[in-house]
Amino acid sequence: MLNKELEVTLNKVENSRRKEKPDQNNLGFGTHFTDHMFSMRWNREKGWHNAEICPYGDFTIDPAAMVFHYGQEIFEGLKAYRGAGNQPLLFRPEDNLKRLNDSALRLCMPRIPTGEILKVLKALVYLERDWIPEAEGATLYIRPTMIATEPALGLRPSEEYLFFIIMSPVGAYYAEGFNPVRIHVENTYVRAVRGGVGEAKTGGNYAASVRALVEAQEKGYTQVLWLDAIERKYIEEVGTSNIFFVIGDEIITPPLGGTILPGITRDSVLTLARDLGHKTTERPVSIDEVIEAADNGELKEIFSTGTAAVISPIGELCYNDKAIVINNGKSGELATLFFNELQDLQWGRKEDKYNWLVRVG
């Protein structure tokens, strides 16, 4: 079915029913949705079918749909940017679609035809181009999602799926914007073990994380930093993003060992850092090493990277009730450099020498 050309129907919203655009300078994250969405269905007999760009709206789903009971769900997050001359731009969309298929494999779900879906995505973004915010740093966040829809309660892979793409104009993910956030190092709960689903982008990983998030927020922290599930020693990732440390002259990030999300922003920062001549290493980093580096003045910066979070400097870590203040709680030089470099690339203000941009329209 992957080779069959996808037939996509276009069913536009009447002009009189278009939504009012939200205040660009007060978008928040993921609370407003555009006029249209894309959806298609899968079953064994027809493969992907009923593909349509249609008005944004509710689905009718059987209460026995397997996603509601066993959580067979995967998703992605990417953004559209308003480039010069109002040109809509997508950043590394093929990588998101490929990662969706990697998640699909792990969750026993059907793969999507990435070439066809990229075409659909471009058509959808073009149709909704007026929704791409103009305000500095604001973007159109895109959420491709797949859920198991077969009504059945026996535990096995679903035989029916729904794939959809919704889009939301967003500002900064954190209320702090690019200002440093305070992070709680989680030492009660764990996120993933090797062999589990930690590297898949599946809702269950996020559902399992919210208890820790709520407890961290109750203590005044914005997010949690996960440690490995076996030794509770090695750093994994932040609740929403990957993490980088600048210790001495080395930029370090934990390796992709099956338990953390293979972030596209993580990969972009590694590429940029190497190209700019920085020493970058993907290796295990223990919380003890971070504390020791902080104590002896070698810890220069910590920042996290993700599609939603972009580059988010970390001003404080709290581990076992001990606060570690990083760079006097200020945004560091390298976090600022990568934030600017990345945004210049994403908005097409810099030569696209890595071929990361896809122009729409």
Question: What gap in Å lies between CA 301 and CA 292, rounded to an integer?
Answer: 14
Q: Interface mask (CB under 6 A) for ligand COI, residues 242-281, using x and -?
A: ----------------------------------------
Q: Which of 28, 55, 71, 77 binds ligand COI (CB under 6 A)?
A: 77
Residue 322 CB coordination number (10 Å): 10
Question: Could you tell me the smallest distance in angstroms from the CB atom of residue 339 to ligand COI?
Answer: 15
Stated as kind and residue range, the H or E segment containing 214 is helix 210-218
Q: Interface mask (CB under 6 A) for ligand COI, residues 179-218, using x and -?
A: ----------------------------------------
DSSP per position, 58-90? PPP--TTBHHHHH--EEE--EEEEE-GGG-EEE
Residue whose CB is less far from ligand COI, 48 or 338: 338
Q: Which of 88, 198, 306, 348 binds ligand COI (CB under 6 A)?
A: 306
For ligand COI (CB under 6 A), the number of binding residues is 5
Residue whose CB is less far from ligand COI, 158 or 307: 307
Question: What gap in Å lies between CA 41 and CA 146, rounded to an integer?
Answer: 9
What residues contact residue 353 under an 8 Å CB cut-off, 6+ apart? Answer: none
Question: Could you tell me the smallest distance in angstroms from the CB atom of residue 141 to ligand COI?
Answer: 7
Site stretch for ligand COI (CB under 6 A), options 18-26, 55-63, 147-155, 306-314: 306-314
Torsion of CA 174, 180, 181, 186, to 10 degrees: 130
Q: Does 71 bind ligand COI (CB under 6 A)?
A: no
Question: What gap in Å lies between CA 320 and CA 306, rounded to an integer?
Answer: 26
Q: Which of 146, 162, 166, 308 binds ligand COI (CB under 6 A)?
A: 308
Q: Which of 307, 312, 331, 346 binds ligand COI (CB under 6 A)?
A: 307
- Find the binding residues for ligand COI in span 85-144 (CB under 6 A): none
Biggest distance spanned by C-alpha atoms of the chain: 64
CB 253 within 8 A of CB 234: no
Question: Could you tell me the smallest distance in angstroms from the CB atom of residue 202 to ligand COI?
Answer: 11
Question: Could you tell me the smallest distance in angstroms from the CB atom of residue 241 to ligand COI?
Answer: 6
Question: Could you tell me the smallest distance in angstroms from the CB atom of residue 261 to ligand COI?
Answer: 9
What residues contact residue 56 under an 8 Å CB cut-off, 6+ apart? Answer: 13, 33, 34, 35, 36, 37, 166
The site for ligand COI (CB under 6 A) is made up of: 77, 240, 306-308
